[in-house]
Structure 1
Amino acid sequence: MLNLFNKALSLPEKTAIIDSEGSHSFQKLNTYSDQIASFLLQGNPDLNEKRVAFMVNPDFDYVKIQWAIWKAGGIAVPLCITYPLPSLTYVIEDTQTEIIIAGPEYVELLSKYAKEKGIRFLNLSDLESSGSSPILPEIESSRGAMILYTSGTTSLPKGVLTTHANIESQISTLIEAWKWTEKDHTLCLLPLHHVHGIINVVSCALWSGATVEFLHPFDAKQVFGKFLEGKINVFMAVPTIYFKLVSEFESSSEKEKDALFECMKQFRLMVSGSAALPVSVMEKWKAISGHYLLERYGMTEIGMAISNPYEGPRKAGYIGKPLPGVKTRLVDEENRPVDSGQPGEIQIQGPSVFKEYWGKPEATAKSFTSDGWFKTGDVAVIEEGYFRILGRDSVDIIKSGGYKISALEIEEVMRKHPLIKDCGVVGIPDEEWGELVSAALVTQEPMDLKVLNQWMREQMPAYKTPRKYLILNELPRNAMGKVVKNELKKLFNQESK
């Protein structure tokens, strides 16, 4: 029995999940996932790590399917519910999926494709089965459990294979660091094809015996309505969600604001991650909720590795200190440890680190050092014991005129301008400079870019100020709200033609 399922046995009557259909107990989750696991097995003793892709809305159905795949010995491949068919088929074909499960909303999208490819297709509506307790395989923790795909912000997405042992390490580390208990009640707004939603929210809660409430699709007013019910005490989101909640709060009446502030300040924990949180949003959230958001750092390949403390000072703009059981180091381009206070690539070692990129042995080998450290590609500096991210070496570190410049640092300064709603900074190839610092802007109203440039030069050294600007209605983002910087670069290149 995997550790994740233990609470389903020890707290059978407790509410595990709340969704639009009502409340679901741990016993119900355990029973339904057992039955579906039996259905998947078709009388066979074990799925033996067959890949099972599933496209199911974020609710009780999602969790019971995921648990069923694991109980049957399969590898779960959650599909993004907003992806078009070509993006879905890339994942299905790359993982060599043998079974596809679709919720009723997605049957039409996937059933014809599955039939053409000869893949076993299951409609979620047909999976309810009764009968006696099924005989399920014993699952070793070293076996493959899940394949999630990298965000593809810098290259074609890669399938990240984690074992049950990796997942258990990721979950137990966060439960210890963030003090999860069965008394907690959290709200899940995050996509469930990413580690943030699957591990940090859903799996940590269920392992602890806590309750997960789902709200889909996202609606800021409804989120605050859930808060005001007074049950939720743990909340995790990405910066774009916090930005939208701040906007909703600011449009509320004074009476509503007072009620929300009193409600939110009672929360035990509020976390932000998956993208850099602007200091301005951190400060606004503190003013409206009483909470200094806990920022943390993680990746699909490693789960969470670094976090601001649950108890103790949290520093805006910093991702914190290594989590329990996680080894970290900063190195230069020759893999040599950097001096104190100097920037270097974050490298990670520990039981939470993934097994391999699915079907890509060369990419796997390149991502590890000869002595077994995972190379994150993220550049950081340690200041007073806290890690501060400077950016991804490939997209956020701009090499211009002999300088290495952090795009994230420039973005943070630009967001302080009263007319700038959002921004993304990239390096565009240039013969003279190597790369030109270039900024895409979403503005409140038309701006004089010469005036903006002068303002920027008053905020930071001239060599860091953008030499090229592009005004957009919105920035290209992926499902987790991260700006897709390669798409931004394409927009600048189109503009210059």
Structure 2
Amino acid sequence: MTKSIENNLYYRLGIDKPDRGQVRVLQTDSGKVWTYGDLSDMAKSLGQKLIRLGVQQGDRISVQVDKSVEALALYLACLRIGAVYHPLNTAYSLVELDYFIENAAPRVLVCSTDREELLTQLAVRCGVDVVLTLDISGTGSLVSDLPEAQDSAPVSVNSSTAAALLYSSGTTGRPKGIVLTHENLASNAEVLVDLWGFSADDVLLHSLPIYHVHGLFVACHCVLLSGASMLWNAGFEVHKVLEQLGRSSVMMGVPTYYSRLLSLPEFDSGSCKSMRLFISGSAPLLSSTFAEFERRTGHRILERYGMTETGMSTSNPLNGERRAGTVGFPLPGIALRVEDDHGLILAAGEVGNLLVKGPNVFREYWGMPEKTAADFTEDGFFKTGDLATIDAEGYVAIVGRSKDLIITGGLNVYPKEIELVIDRCDGVLESAVIGLSDDDFGERVVAVIVPDGTKHEADLEQGVRRELQESLAGFKRPKDYIFIDSLPRNAMGKVQKALLRERFAD
């Protein structure tokens, strides 16, 4: 494959365009304004420093730091010089980090100052050459003694050159390193900018973390590629976000962000006068949240679907019907199909395994060629591990993860189908349906319910049972009901059913 600057994602994002130099790219929650020129200079300087430290094309740069503009610039610096950016969740323990660092084998590890001593010991064990620090304030050894930005071009790469290394959540075993290329990320960004109507006039309200696909790739790439700007928050604080909506045009968030906004009595259509689009992802959006949000604001949240291995694969339309409970249509240039366990393509409306093919799909699992081969079909489709349906009109609905499928008495039960019924019952805030071991049926269906506090548990259970009896076949109805204060979630808001199964196992 031919290498060229034009294949480099940094080049394609257009950050160094001369007409953008004085254009605002973001404003932090402390009020500091950064221009495209400022961000470009920081990325260039950081890239030059990494090269002076011995970083070469293809070297991994592992990063566990709090969200900051300097951290974003470090990611861009890696793209410029052809290094592979490896972001790490700030909540990871030392035990977890030991696995990630040993597996990724980075040339440089960047961490916060308060973890420097511990992670330096880990780095020595794992053979990492350099440990640098970067704090939420934008200070640390990474940014000290920076060389002056030189007006150099990004390195030439080919379309399959690795740009980033991210790890799966590891719910079914050791996390897998997912290699994303410059083409994976660039092609996805270009489609989304067009599909969601991004322009230089947009202001994105950015409260997401940037160690994840959603906040780092989807959000930032859409802004940078279109020449738009961001209100850049260190995290999500609902009252601050409510105030910032009046100065924004687009918001991306996990479902929790939208439910927290709805918890504020003052949140209404007047709060959203300058907004044109609310986008939700990383976890399923409850139909009740979708409906209440529309009732309160007049806006229908746009839900889309993606995963670390594919970036975004589907989206509800910008112009057209956004259907609650669905993730819309396949993106342009991306093919989807639903198969049974034997590889037979299923008819519209049937539940099966979702497969994806397109330029968005990752290159490989890091150092796991057998696993990579096993997760692709002979004709190049990636097996997502998600269960889905595609209706006659082409709308895709995610039913659940294949590992969450419950087989009771030899019959398949899809938790999402039951959760949708439970969640619409009076007195229910949300629910999760799991399968627990059963001597008779193999697995029994169990409903874990978070009440909203308006009913006694006995009355609530009776009402839910009655609704399920009217709505679902007997084998799908839960045998047990468990009431808890909240569902366990990961950093991106996904319910961790594995923890529920472990907690309530007999």
TM-score (normalizing by structure 1): 0.92
Selected match of 1:121 from 122, 131, 137 = 131
Q: Which residue of 1 aligns with 2:230?
A: 212
Residue aligning to 1:111: 120
Distance of aligned partners of 1:214 and 1:104 in 2 relative to their CA distance in 1, 3 Å threshold: farther
Please tell me whether the aligned partners of residues 415 and 434 of structure 2 are also in contact (alpha carbons under 8 angstroms): yes
Structure 1 alignment gaps of length 5 or more: none
Change (3 A) 1:277 1:27: same
Aligned to 1:457: 469
* 1:410-467 CA distance string (max 9 Å, x none): 1122112232222211112323223211111222344013554234323433222111
Is 1:486 aligned with 2:498? yes
| 274-283 or 153-162, which deviates more | 153-162
Aligned mates of 1:49, 1:209 — CA distance in 2: 28
1:430 maps to 438
Structure 1 contact 441–469 (Cα < 8 Å) conserved: yes
Check whether the contact 2:166–2:178 (CA below 8 A) recurs between aligned residues. yes
Checking the alignment, whether the CA contact within 8 Å between 1:16 and 1:24 is kept in structure 2 is yes
TM-superposed CA distance for 1:317, in Å, is 0.7
Mapped contact 2:304–2:312 kept (Cα < 8 A): yes
2:257 to 241, 244, 248: 241
Pairing partner for 1:39 from 49, 53, 57: 49
Task: Work out whether residues 18 and 60 of structure 1, in 8 Å CA contact, stay in contact via their aligned partners in 2.
Answer: no
The yes-or-no answer on 1:415 pairing with 2:423 is: yes
Shift of 1:341: 2.8
| Separation in structure 1 between the aligned mates of residue 272 and residue 172 of structure 2, nearest angstrom | 37
* Alpha-carbon distance in structure 1 between the residues aligned to 2:325 and 2:173: 26
- Cα distance in 2, alignment partners of residues 149 and 399 from structure 1: 29
Q: How far apart are the structure 2 equivalents of 1:61 and 1:105? A: 17
How many residues of Structure 1 are paired with residues of Structure 2 in the alignment?
A: 482
Structure-2 change in CA distance of 1:415 and 1:108 (3 Å): farther
- Kept in 1: contact 2:406–2:443 (CA 8 A): yes
Confirm or deny: 8 A CA contact 2:202 2:229 kept in the other structure. Answer: yes
Q: Match for 2:80 among 71, 78, 90?
A: 71
Cα deviation, 1:13-40, whole Å, max 9, x if unaligned, reads 1111221341111111111111111111
Per-residue CA deviations over 1:312-348 (Å, capped at 9, x if unaligned) read 1111111111101101111111112112332221111
Query: Shift of the alpha carbon at 1:241?
Result: 1.6
Identity percentage of aligned residues: 33
Would you say the 8 A contact 1:274–1:298 is kept in 2?
A: yes
**294, 297, 313: which is aligned to 1:286?**
294
Does residue 342 (structure 1) correspond to residue 350 (structure 2)? The answer is yes
Deviation at 1:296, TM superposition (A): 0.9
Alpha-carbon distance, 1:41 to partner: 0.7
What amino acid is the match of 2:40?
Answer: N
Cα distance, 1:361–1:444 mapped onto 2, change above 3 Å: same
| Bigger mean CA offset, 88-97 vs 368-377 | 88-97
Q: Deviation digits for residues 230-274 of structure 1, max 9, x if unmatched?
A: 321011111122111111x23x3xxxx4xx422415412111111
SS of the aligned residue for 2:495 comes to coil
Match for residue 471 of structure 1 among 460, 480, 483: 483
- The corresponding residue for 2:169 is 151
For the structure 1 residues 475 and 291, does the alpha-carbon distance in structure 2 shift closer, same or farther, using more than 3 Å as the test?
A: same
Structure 1 residues 375-410: Cα deviation after superposition (integer angstroms, max 9, x where no partner): 112121222321122211111x22223432221121
SS at match of 2:293: helix
Which residue in 1 is equivalent to 2:69?
60
Q: Which moved more, 1:345-354 or 1:456-465?
A: 456-465
Deviation of 1:140 after TM superposition, in Å, equals: 3.2
Aligned to 2:147: 130
Shift of 1:138: 2.8
Distance 1:132 1:233, change over 3 A: closer
Q: Is the 8 A contact 1:273 1:295 kept in 2?
A: yes
The DSSP-based 3-state class of the residue aligned with 2:378 is coil
Question: Given residue 483 of structure 1, which amino acid in structure 2 is its aligned partner?
Answer: V
The residue number in structure 2 matching 1:91 is: 100
The separation in 2 between residues aligned to 1:370 and 1:266, in whole angstroms, is: 48
Q: After TM superposition, list the pairs within 5 Å mapping 1:314-393 onto structure 2.
A: 314-383=322-391, 384-393=393-402
Q: Which residue of 1 aligns with 2:247?
A: 231
Q: Distance in 2 between matches of 1:231 and 1:107?
A: 38
Look up the SS of the partner of 1:394 in the other structure.
Answer: helix
Secondary structure of the residue that 1:126 maps to in structure 2? Answer: coil
The one-letter code of the counterpart of 2:159 is S
Equivalent residue for 1:162? 180
Deviation (angstroms), 1:152: 2.8
Counterpart of 2:137 in structure 1 is none
Unaligned runs of 5+ in 2: 135-139
Greater shift, 352-361 or 466-475, is seen at 466-475
Counterpart of 1:277 in structure 2 is: 285
> Do the aligned residues in 1 keep the contact of 2:42 with 2:149 (CA within 8 Å)?
no
Could you tell me whether the CA contact under 8 Å between 1:54 and 1:101 is conserved in 2?
A: yes
- Tell me which of 207, 210, 213 is aligned to 1:189: 207
1:108, CA displacement in angstroms? 4.8
SS in 1 for 2:150: coil
Secondary structure, aligned partner of 2:403: coil
Contact 1:58 1:214 in 2 (8 A): no
TM (norm. structure 2) is 0.90
AA aligned to 1:127 is L
Classify 1:378/1:264 alpha carbon distance in 2 versus 1 (closer, same or farther; 3 Å).
same
Q: Does the aligned pair in 2 maintain the 1:7–1:208 contact within 8 Å?
A: no
| Contact 1:170-1:199 at 8 Å conserved across structures | no
Answer yes or no: is the 8 Å Cα contact 1:55–1:106 preserved in 2.
Answer: no
- 1:8/1:29 contact within 8 Å kept: no
Q: Is the 8 A contact 1:238 1:274 kept in 2?
A: yes
SS of the residue 1:324 aligns to? coil
Mapped to 2, the partners of 1:336 and 1:277 lie a distance apart of: 29
* Equivalence for 1:23: 33
Tell whether the 8 Å contact from 1:154 to 1:485 is kept in structure 2 after alignment. no
